[in-house]
Amino acid sequence: MKTFLLCAVLATVTAGCASETETARYYDNNDIELAVGNGALMMCSCVFVMEMPEDHCRAWVRASPNVARLSVDTTAKTVESSAFITWAAKAHWVDEKRGCVLE
């Protein structure tokens, strides 16, 4: 019985110790994904949370190199960002307490 209990505890402990490669999340082309997601979220926050003019927000959000294209829908309170036709992200305004979230 002690051997079984020891084996069960040992199996539980080793199962919880996964290596970094098994638990880490990796993205291909992560620089472009980050630029697109950050652009959508920052533009949404600037326009809908800080209530700044859209042209001011475009200048504030612009990255170097400027790879993301931003489109703002003021009626739906959403911002879509895309780069190189393949990558896209969308952020929307939730409420005054939570601000904008990335979808």
**Domain count across the chain:** 1
**Mean pLDDT throughout 77-103?**
93
Place of tokens 């490669």: 21
H or E stretch at 5: helix 2-16
pLDDT at residue 28 in the model: 58
pLDDT at residue 29 in the model: 56
Q: Which domain holds residue 77?
A: 30-102
Domain assignment present for 7: no
Domain assignment present for 19: no
Domain assignment present for 17: no
pLDDT at residue 55 in the model: 95
pLDDT at 4 over 60: no
pLDDT at 61 over 80: yes
Domain assignment present for 35: yes
- Exposed/middle/buried for residue 41 (C-beta within 10 Å: 0-12, 13-18, 19+): buried
Domain assignment present for 25: no
Domain assignment present for 8: no
Domain assignment present for 1: no
Find residue 92's DSSP bridge partners. 78, 101
Q: Can you say how many angstroms the Cα of residue 37 is from the centroid of all Cα atoms in its chain?
A: 5
pLDDT at 32 over 90: no
